[in-house]
Amino acid sequence: MDSHIEKNANYISYEERISSEKYTKRFYERLSYNWAIFPLTVAISFVALYRVSTWTGLYDMVVQQGVLWTTDCTVIAIVHAPFLLSQLPPYSILWGLCLPMRPFAQADSTKKRVFRELKVCLVTKGTNVQTVLNSVKPWRFCKQSSSVSFHVILDSCEDRFKAKLPRFVNIVKVPASFQPDHAKYKGRALEWCRQLWKLSDQDWVLHLDEETEIDEYLVNACLNFIERGTEQVGMSGFLTTAEVFRVAEDFGRFQLPLRLFKRPLLGWMHGSFILINGAVENTVTWDTDCLAEDFWFAFQAARRGFKFGWIHAIAREQPPISVHDLIQQRRRWYTGIMSIDSWLVKSALVIPMMGPLVYACL
pLDDT tens digit string along 141-193? 887 788 999 999 998 766 778 788 988 999 999 998 999 999 988 999 999 99
Backbone angles phi, psi at 307, to 5 degrees: -90, 140
CA atoms within 13 A on the CB side of 36: 4
Question: Nearest 5°: phi and psi at 271?
Answer: -80, -10
Query: Is pLDDT larger for residue 10 or for residue 19?
Result: 19
Q: What is the pLDDT of residue 282?
A: 97
pLDDT at 8 over 50: no
pLDDT in tens, 300-335: 999 999 999 999 888 887 766 667 777 777 788 788
Average pLDDT of the residues in 234-238: 79
- Give how far Cα 243 sits from Cα of 227, 247, 254, 326, 330, Å: 33, 7, 16, 10, 13
Distance, CA of 344 to CA of 156 (rounded, Å): 36
232 vs 354, more confident = 232
Separation between Cα atoms, residue 65 and residue 248, nearest integer Å:
36
Mean pLDDT check: name the lowest of 9-23, 70-84, 223-237.
9-23
Burial class (CB in 10 A: 0-12, 13-18, 19+), 233: buried
The residues facing 149 across adjacent strands are 119
Give, in degrees to the nearest 5, the angle at Cα 283 between 280 and 287: 105
- Contact between 222 and 275 (Cβ < 8 Å): yes
- Predicted confidence at residue 22, as pLDDT, reads 81
High-pLDDT (> 90) share of the chain, % = 35
pLDDT of residue 32: 92
For the chain, the maximum distance between any two Cα atoms, rounded to a whole number of angstroms, is 77
Instruction: Give the 3-state DSSP-derived string for the chain, with helices as H, strands as E and coil as C.
Output: CCCCCCCCCCCCCHHHHHHHHHHHHHHHHHHCCHHHHHHHHHHHHHHHHHHHHHHHCHHHHHCCCCCCCCHHHHHHHHHHHHHHHHHCCCCHHHHHHHCCCCCCCCCCCCCCCCCCEEEEEEEECCCCHHHHHHHHHHHHHCCCCCCEEEEEEECCCCCCCCCCCCCCEEEEECCCCCCCCCCCHHHHHHHHHHHHHCCCCCEEEEEECCCEECCHHHHHHHHHHHHHCCCCEEECCEEECCCHHHHHHHHHHHHHHHHHHCCCCCCCCCCCCEEEEHHHHHHHCCCCCCCCHHHHHHHHHHHCCCCEEECCCCEEECCCCCHHHHHHHHHHHHHHHHCCCCHHHHHHHHHHHHHHHHHHHC
Residue 151 phi/psi, 5-degree rounding, is -140, 135
Q: Crossing angle, helix 185-197 and helix 293-303, to 10 degrees?
A: 50
Report how far residue 347's alpha carbon sits from residue 5's, in angstroms, rounded to the nearest whole number. Answer: 55
Answer left, alpha or beta for residue 320, where phi above 0 means left and psi between -120 and 50 means alpha: beta
Higher pLDDT, 11 or 73: 73
Q: Domain 1-32+64-362: what homologous superfamily? A: Spore Coat Polysaccharide Biosynthesis Protein SpsA; Chain A (3.90.550.10)
Average pLDDT score over residue span 181-207: 94
pLDDT band at 4 (very low <50, low <70, confident <90, very high): very low
Q: Report whether 337 contacts 352 (CB < 8 A).
A: no
Return the C-alpha torsion angle 328, 329, 334, 339, nearest 10: 90
Annotated domain spans of the chain: 1-32+64-362
Q: What is the pLDDT of residue 288?
A: 93
Q: How far apart are CA 16 and CA 13, in angstroms?
A: 5
pLDDT value, residue 175: 92
Nearest to 215 by CA among 24, 1, 352: 24
Q: In the prediction, which pLDDT does 98 show?
A: 87
Residue 10 has pLDDT above 60, yes or no: no
The radius of gyration computed from the CA coordinates of the chain, to the nearest angstrom, equals 23
For residue 82, the model assigns a pLDDT of: 64
Q: What is the pLDDT of residue 49?
A: 85
How many angstroms separate the CA atoms of 157 and 289, rounded?
21
